[in-house]
Each structure stands twice: as C-alpha cells, then as structure tokens.
Structure 1
Amino acid sequence: MLVLLPPSETKRDGGDEGSSLDLAALSFPQLTAARKPVLSAVKSLSRNLSEASAALGLSAAQRFEIDRNRAISKSPTMPVMDRFTGVLYDGLAATELEDAPREWLANHVVVHSALFGLLRAGDRIPAYRLSHDSRLAGLPLKRHWSSSIAAALEAHDGLILDLRSESYASLGPAPVRENSVYLRVVTEGPDGTKRALNHFNKKGKGEFVRALALSGLFHEDVPSLLSWADTRGIRLAAGAPGELELTV
C-alpha cells in the first residue's frame, strides 16, 4: 500500500547535527539520475538573488529560502515526515507519534517533491524551496518528472491511494487501474449536497493518514480500506470512477 501526499512549501528548520544530503540513500533509486539535474539547477539558480526570487515566486520576506537552496548539499537533514509543515502535516503531526505509527508512515507514505521526485516518509532531506510551478531554466518540471515518476508508481503492484493535489499529480500520474484511486475531500451541506473543500481539505487528509498510521493496518485493496474506515466512523466512500470521497 502506498499513500501519496503532496509536499508543503513550508518546512521545518534544522536537522541532525553532522548530517547532509545523500542522494544514494533516498528511496526510489531509479529516480536518482533524474534528481541530479534538478538539484544542480536549483543550486545554480540560487547564485542570483533576483532571478531566484522570480523563478521561485518569493517575496522579499521569503528570500531566506534562497539561502536554504544555496546550502542544500551541506545543510542537515531530517525525515521527510518531520521536515514538512503546514495544514496537512499539522494534521498528520508525525513528530508526536510513537515508533510504531512512525514506522507505518515510513513504510507506506510517499511524498511527491518537485525537487526529489518520490520520497518515502522516512527518507532524510534538507530544507529547500521548489514548487511544482517553479521555473528552472531549460528544465520544465512537468516534462522532466512525468514519465519517470509514472513508471515508478506503475511498478508498485499494490494499492495506491493518491492524496496529492492535482498540480502534483500532473507531474507524475498514478496508474489507471482498479487498485489505484484518487482521494477527494468533500463536505456535506444540510441538504445532503457535497462540495469539494479547498484549504480545509489538507487538514482532512493529514488526519486521515494519521488514523491509518495509528491503526497499523495494511490494506491490499479498496474494499479493505473502505471496511476499515467504516469501523472507525470515517466517512469514506466510492466517488467518481477511480476516486474515493472522504467527507469531513
């Protein structure tokens, strides 16, 4: 079972003293060759403050992100599940979990990074800034990542639960098959009408993945996942073809 999450633009500072980025230690080694030119382009871009600010869409107050990118190969690392912050990752609250649910996250959660491609939750990375819509000279991210990420996901023959935003899903589509589904978070009005959530869908996703981690269960298919959700009072149901709806 793979649970795919989007990254967050906000990240926690710091990391383990003496650690630094080791590309060879990251999961999905088939993506190593694709990671190198993106990493090189980010470091090159960070040499020019004005160009980097424009390419990364940064305000003057966010220029510390460029310093992060300059030091990306030397700065300390921490697990992916702890590095990202923001609404989704606050809902997940991985730093508050005990060893067993953190191990579940490390085994089953994959975060889709614009810089590194697919990362398991236990992979160790530095703080950085690069988004799906960042502009790298001569290296369009969608064209660069799409086929290699799609191939890596296709190679997984178990259940894939895609919680990525549509913008990240476009950087590497999940396979179209029975045990690969996209999760939409919706709310239900007094009249029973359902509508998609924007900001608050992130919190729902984070809390849902936290519940999965705390359960410690492995789901081989969608019926198993739906049955588990029903026993926990989680409103998860089939939606449009190839999709599940989580009502919060």
Structure 2
Amino acid sequence: MIILLPPSETKREGGDATGLDLARLRFSSLTATRRGLLRELRAISRDEDASLKALKISPRQRAEVLRNREVMTSPTMPAIDRYTGVVFDALDSASLPERARSFAASHLVIQSALLGPIGAMDPIPAYRLSHDSKLPGVHLAKTWAPVAPLEIGAGDDLVLDFRSEAYVALSPLPSGANSWFLKVVTESDDGTVRALNHFNKKSKGLLTRTLLMHARDLATIDEVLAVARAAGHRMELGDPGELRLYVSKD
C-alpha cells in the first residue's frame, strides 16, 4: 500500500547540518530529473526579481528566494516533518509513535514539484517550488508526467491518492493502476453531496494519521474502508476509482 500526499508550500525551518544528498531519496531512477530541476532552480534564484515572478510570490517573501539559492547546502529533515500547512498539521508527525513513523517510511509518499515523489522519511531541505511555478525552459508537468508515475503506480501496490487535483495533473497515475482518488465531500439534509475545498486538507491529514497509526499494510480497498470506519471516519466508495470521505462543515 502507498499513501500519496501532496506537498505544502510552507516548510519548517532548520534540520540536521547536512546538505541534500539525492542518493538518499526514494525512487533513485528520478535522480537525473531532480538534479536538472535543482540546477534550474538555483540558477534563477540568483535573480531575485525573476525568482519572485517564477514562484508567483510577493517581495515580502524574498526569504524563499534565499532558500532556493541555498537548497543544496541548507539543513535537511525528514519530508514528513519538513512540510507544514493544514494537511501536515492534522497529520502531526511529531506525535507519531516510532511504529507509525517506521510504517510511514515505507508506505507514505509525498509528491514534490521539485523532487518528484519522495519517501516520508527522505531528508530534504526547505525550498519553494509549486506545481504552477514557471522555471525558464521547464514545464513541470511535462517533466514529471513521463517518469514519476512509473515509480508510483507501476506495481501491484494499492495506491491511496490523497493529492490535490493540481498535483494529480502534475503527475497522473497510469491507467490500470490499482489507485483510488480521495474526494472529501459533505452531505446536506436533502442528500445532496458536494466536494469541499476548505475542509478537505485537514480531513486528508487525519485519515493519513489513522492509517499510519494502524501501521499494517492493506491489500484491498475493503480493508482500507474497514480501518477508516473503525477509527470513526465515514468513507464510502464513489465513482469508479474514487473514495468519498464524508465530513461535516461544523
């Protein structure tokens, strides 16, 4: 089983006093692609104005440009601890017991715009690059779509795709993959079901935490549903290849 999460634009500061080592990242076949994107990111970071435009950030966020300039030498920490934001705040990696973190190391993958899919415990630096960033001469979707899905969805593993639609578009899984896309929805009193935006990130983080705390490899979607429901999540099958997680807006 693979749980596939989107990254977050916000990152925690600090880490170990070691630089990025691409050889320590999961999915080694992506090393050359990662190296090329890192080279382009560092190159544009020498031009602050061009970086602000490429990253679609304001002058008040100049610190992000410095992060990118030092991306190869700045401290690293496990990806699951590096990312912040709603999904990862709900996941609350710091409070996970060692058994759950060990399970995450082999079963949780995060889809980075810069590094592609990475393992939860892969040591990474703080950086800024989003799915819609515009590096000169680089089209992120065309860069990742041909290579990343070969690593994530090529085998027989059950893939629980908790990514946002933007990151699904960046690297869509191959047709025929044993994957299930999670849609977070709410149901009104008249039975109308509609997708949620504001609440979906927290719900995905909490569901991910449930699966990590369970810390057992699940082979079928029925097993996933059983674990989720036992933990109090209301989750059902939706359209083909889709899971629906029902949440209240209260």
Length-normalised TM-score, structure 1: 0.97
The share of aligned pairs that are identical, in percent, is 48
In the alignment, which residue of structure 2 is the partner of 1:106?
A: 105
2: CA distance between counterparts of 1:155 and 1:179? 9
SS in 2 for 1:245: strand
Give unmatched runs, 5+ long, in structure 1: none
Q: Which amino acid aligns with 2:14?
A: G
1: CA distance between counterparts of 2:210 and 2:31? 32
2: CA distance between counterparts of 1:178 and 1:149? 13
SS in 2 for 1:63: helix
In the alignment, which residue of structure 1 is the partner of 2:198?
A: 199
In the alignment, which residue of structure 2 is the partner of 1:41?
A: 40
In the alignment, which residue of structure 1 is the partner of 2:19?
A: 20
* Displacement of 1:227: 2.2
In the alignment, which residue of structure 1 is the partner of 2:122?
A: 123
In the alignment, which residue of structure 2 is the partner of 1:10?
A: 10
In the alignment, which residue of structure 1 is the partner of 2:52?
A: 53
1: CA distance between counterparts of 2:57 and 2:229? 43
SS in 2 for 1:100: helix
Residue pair 2:184, 2:246 contacting (<8 A) in 1 also: yes
Residue pair 1:179, 1:221 contacting (<8 A) in 2 also: no
In the alignment, which residue of structure 2 is the partner of 1:92?
A: 91
SS in 1 for 2:94: helix
Alignment length, in residue pairs?
Answer: 247
In the alignment, which residue of structure 2 is the partner of 1:222?
A: 221
* Displacement of 1:160: 0.4
In the alignment, which residue of structure 2 is the partner of 1:190?
A: 189
Deviations 1:186-222 (A, max 9, x none): 1122222211110210000000000111111211111
1: CA distance between counterparts of 2:164 and 2:28? 24
Residue pair 1:100, 1:216 contacting (<8 A) in 2 also: yes
* Displacement of 1:142: 0.7
Q: Which amino acid aligns with 1:80?
A: A
Change (3 A) 1:156 1:196: same
Length-normalised TM-score, structure 2: 0.96
In the alignment, which residue of structure 1 is the partner of 2:75?
A: 76
Residue pair 1:87, 1:203 contacting (<8 A) in 2 also: yes
2: CA distance between counterparts of 1:235 and 1:200? 14
Change (3 A) 1:155 1:179: closer
* Displacement of 1:233: 2.7
SS in 1 for 2:146: helix
Residue pair 1:43, 1:72 contacting (<8 A) in 2 also: yes
2: CA distance between counterparts of 1:53 and 1:65? 9
2: CA distance between counterparts of 1:169 and 1:163? 9
Residue pair 1:179, 1:222 contacting (<8 A) in 2 also: no
1: CA distance between counterparts of 2:122 and 2:131? 20
Alignment of 1:232-243 (within 5 A): 232-243=231-242
* Displacement of 1:178: 6.6
2: CA distance between counterparts of 1:175 and 1:232? 31
SS in 1 for 2:186: strand
Residue pair 1:162, 1:174 contacting (<8 A) in 2 also: no
2: CA distance between counterparts of 1:247 and 1:228? 15
Residue pair 1:178, 1:242 contacting (<8 A) in 2 also: no
Residue pair 2:91, 2:206 contacting (<8 A) in 1 also: yes
SS in 1 for 2:180: strand
In the alignment, which residue of structure 1 is the partner of 2:140?
A: 141
In the alignment, which residue of structure 1 is the partner of 2:166?
A: 167
